[in-house]
Amino acid sequence: GSMNTKVPANLGLKSKLLDRYTDQIDGMLGCYDRVIITGTLVDVAHPDVLTARLYALNIRCFDLKLFAEPLRDQVRDNAILVARQAGLEVEYLERRGLRKEDRIAEILERRGRHPGLVHVFSAMESCKCFKPWHDKKTGKTGLKLTGGRCLHYYFYFIDEQLGLGYVRVPTWLPFRLQVYFNQHQWLANQLRTQGIDQELADNTFLSCSDWTKAQAVVDGFEIKLLTERLQRLAEQFCPVVKTFRSGYHWSLMQVEYALDVVFKSAAALRPVYEEISRQAIFTVRAPDVARFLGKRLSPEAEVNSDFHTRVEGTRIKHQLNRQAIKMYDKAGRVLRIECVSNDVSFYRHHRKVEHRDGTSGYQVADLKKSIFSLGDLRGLMRAGCARYLEFLGELEDRSPGQTNLDKISRPVQDPQERSWRGFNFFLNTDLSVLLGIVRGEYQISGLSNRRMQSVLPDKTGSQIGRILKRLRLHGLIKKIGKTYKYYLTELGQKAVLVGLKLKEHLIVPALAAPRA
């Protein structure tokens, strides 16, 4: 199809970055990426409910095995049967650290991507499970949920609607399920049936003949259809669900929302990404991340919060407690901003709240973890991505001063054709020089070799002489008349500000680490 150059109006985003590169952008799309849902078996989810059930069956708490083992066998037998019907063997994972995703990718290469069961793994993993206990003081016996280990099955499948996903099934009470799917795959299937051309590579759309339509389709995602799908998956892979009348209650465990700005070429995105990623690393702080996510951090919360910015390859991740904002350049030409939540109740919105006295009213409250919150969460997470995009637009400034910073890092030649290396902001030796020349007293009385010796005590006079020459050749300092004194140039001051930002943010170690 013909490429639609217009940025879809229905995203309603404001960012100088979008304005600046409109003619370089092919389209935009906001969509859930990774979604992990947990299923709770309502009838046996709580110690009291299970105790009452055992009591009704005349089973003592310490004989829990009589009730639990037949259910465990049912799950095991079903796993073997389901695998056999699909012509597969259950693969037991002995060693930890084997990436299931890599193994699945390998299998898909051979198998192709037609719907059906792809593979079944089994592994001993930790889980919450019920254990009987006895209180000697009161003489009471009961059940409690504690940490334990049991065999888990991972059923990887390709669903006609949801695409590639998995269901993780434990073999012991309370049988908490975990289901993973990716909405990009669901969308690709929808667009295919509607005859809209698109190219999906590793959960990222590289092209689409109608971005506006794609956005409308993804925004029309029906949660009711998803719950029906989940119910069927539970029946298929965890047959004990048929034993319990109330079935599974589905809640959100981890949700990622991705906002993609698709550039027409990698060459167009590369310089932009280099600029904004470098600046984002140094400028984003904990209060900023909270602001992007629609929160204000109190000074106490800021001190106690777990905040860090990590750089992995080209991916930048700002983590704030159980929330994160990530930025990548996917496939070289898609700028992806992603909101990640490991606890969606972090978000607050206006909703109906039931009070303990039986009354109800509308007020601002934490988002519920129920799967039915996906609709409201989409708007909240999209707004978070949009605020980050707006912030990046403010950051990225291709003014002459900015491009001059690149020159500083490159070697220059003196009149004798000798090459003098540039200044690397990530090298501690260079950084200490840049921070040394910015001291207040030098602004008044100038900078000299002797004065520098007190700032850089490990350097000799002749080494400092060479450093001053490098600074001068790179335009960072200028000599005063016929003296041996120097002053910082405007460019020098800009460079030093970048140096100060680096020092403050202490991300230098992460970036200076040698590339493997």
The predicted-structure confidence for 39-81, as pLDDT tens digits, reads as follows 999 999 999 999 999 999 999 999 999 999 999 999 999 999 9
On the question of pLDDT at 380 being above 70, the answer is yes
Q: Which is more confidently placed, 12 or 154? A: 154
421: Cβ contacts below 8 Å, ≥ 6 apart: 411, 470
Q: What is the mean pLDDT of residues 261-280?
A: 91
Q: Sort strands 177-182 and 140-159 into parallel, antiparallel or unpaired.
A: unpaired
Q: What does the chain come to in residues?
A: 516
Q: Sort strands 177-182 and 348-354 into parallel, antiparallel or unpaired.
A: unpaired
Residue 168 pairs with which residues in a beta bridge? 154, 178
C-alpha dihedral, 240 to 241 to 243 to 245, nearest 10°: 170
C-alpha distances in angstroms, 448 versus 256, 303, 440, 441? 54, 41, 14, 11
Distance CA 435, CA 286 (A): 25
Q: Nearest to residue 283, comparing CAs of 436, 498, 14? A: 498
Q: What is the mean pLDDT of residues 144-160?
A: 95
C-alpha distances in angstroms, 67 versus 54, 137, 173, 409, 459? 8, 27, 9, 70, 77
On the question of pLDDT at 496 being above 90, the answer is no
Distance CA 321, CA 341 (A): 10
Three-state SS across 151-165?
EEEEEEEEECCCEEE
pLDDT value of position 424: 80
On the question of pLDDT at 388 being above 80, the answer is yes
Residue 516 pLDDT class (50, 70, 90 cuts)? very low
On the question of pLDDT at 443 being above 70, the answer is no
pLDDT value of position 391: 87
List of E strands, 72-193: 90-92, 116-135, 140-159, 163-170, 177-182
Distance, C-alpha 31 to centroid of its chain: 14
In the chain, pLDDT over 90 holds for what percent of residues?
61
| pLDDT one-digit tens code per residue, 229-265 | 999 999 999 999 999 999 999 999 999 999 999 999 9
DSSP string for 402-438: HHHHHHHTS-EE-TTS-EE----TTSHHHHHHHHHTT
Residue 487 pairs with which residues in a beta bridge? 478
